Amino acid sequence: MIKPHGSDHLIPLYVMDDVQRSELLKEAETLPSIIISSAAAANAVMLASGYFTPLTGYMSREDALGTAESMKTKSGLFFPVPVVNVVKDASSIKGAKRIALRDPNVKGNPILAVMDVDAIEEFSDADMKLMSEKIYRTTDNKHPGVAAFNTVGQTVISGPIKVLNFSYFKEDFPDTFRTAYEIRDEMQKLGWEKIVAFQTRNPMHRAHEELCRMAQEAVNADGILIHMLLGKLKEGDIPADVRNACIHKMVEVYFPPNTVLITGYGFDMLYAGPREAVLHALFRQNTGCSHFIIGRDHAGVSDFYGPFDAQTIFKEEVPEGALEIEIFEADHTAWSKKLNKIVMMRDVPDHSKEDFVLLSGTKVREMLGNGEALPPEFARPEVAKILIDYYQSK
């Protein structure tokens, strides 16, 4: 397994010692506190899990702007997006040097972390515009990531944190949620050295399934890490519990035992296209994966990004040696009617669009809503049934 980003070892910020965690929780109840945004809470969970190694807390205004502008902090650390705690109003913690962060996503807003406050600063309107342009490549509020980014506030609280729990993720997804250090441990027990990772925020159809096999064979990997996002999505996306059930069923039925790890991580989707692709690669390096699949429109939304911008950024903007993980560049995959199998479209130049089984997201949702079976060339019947049951229950 390859080493973590910017460090010889993972730096998870979860307080693992039970006694120390209990003492910190008692202290936290006496501290000034603030309910943070869902995005900041997800950042805390990722810091706790070691996915954001080597960060030790939330970035300052200067570091946030640096990562947005050039993917580098003031110290020169490569990082593709700001990791910040931004709020609308920090008056409840004014003057405090140590505070408790409360979870917005759990009933009663329990304490999620304890934070030492280095600074409380303001992002200007120009700062927000610059970050939107650099991270999302647009300032259009029709972009769900831009809309979310620009509605949480402009007051940035920076400093190191100690995290006391994993929000709702361990409880809601006990069989799937894994920290980066847990994934490394599992892969080590399996004896995997070369691992290919697949990111998903959707159920996996036949094309995704076969893409994982293609990548594993191409790089001669010992195993596949299917790593799904379990946090907040945009309206209309399929909920995490449904995706989770679909992927577990697909792997259970169609992959040999001990060849796939199904895991998930607690992060809210950014829909930041190329920048998020680099962030996703960094996550997988921190889990120990040697290769990461990036296909068409990775982490994109609508038509804000070109189909292969998420691959191009690694060649044109990511400095050589900034990340150790290797990118497996994939094209769109689909069932070929000519060849009776799933292929990458770039590998069959003699095919026309009519030679593939292709369904738009709108058409898939329409069919599922009507209780219609999806073509077996497009989706496994066991997966389609789970999706039909979900759409029929809405």
Instruction: List the beta bridge partners of residue 224.
Output: 196, 260
CA angle 50, 128, 77 (to 5 degrees): 35
Spatial distance between the Cα atoms of 350 and 290, rounded to a whole number of angstroms: 33
> Locate tokens 């300032």: which residue?
139
258 classed as catalytic: no
Q: Which two tokens stand for residue 100?
A: 């408790």
CB contact at 8 A, 59 and 253: no
- Alpha-carbon distance 6 to 79, whole Å? 10
Mutual angle of helices 273-287 and 309-316, in 10-degree steps: 70
Exactly one of 21, 109, 202, 365 is catalytic; name it.
202
How do strand 341-344 and strand 356-357 relate by DSSP bridges? unpaired
Taking the C-alpha atoms of residue 201 and residue 273, their distance in angstroms, rounded to an integer, is: 13
Report the alpha-carbon distance of residue 235 to residue 257 in Å, rounded. Answer: 35
Give the pairing of strands 341-344 and 333-336: antiparallel
Instruction: Write the DSSP assignment of 6-30 as a string of letters.
Output: TSSS----B---HHHHHHHHHHHTT
β-pairing, 291-294 vs 326-329, is parallel
Active-site position among 178, 184, 201, 243: 201
Q: Tokens in use for 341?
A: 């199998």
- What residue ranges in the chain does DSSP mark as E strands? 33-35, 57-58, 86-87, 98-102, 111-116, 119-122, 155-163, 195-200, 223-229, 260-265, 291-294, 326-329, 333-336, 341-344, 356-357
**Beta-strand relationship, 260-265 and 155-163:** unpaired
* 370 belongs to the catalytic site: no
35, 90 contact by CB (below 8 A): no
Among all residues, which ones are annotated catalytic? 201-202
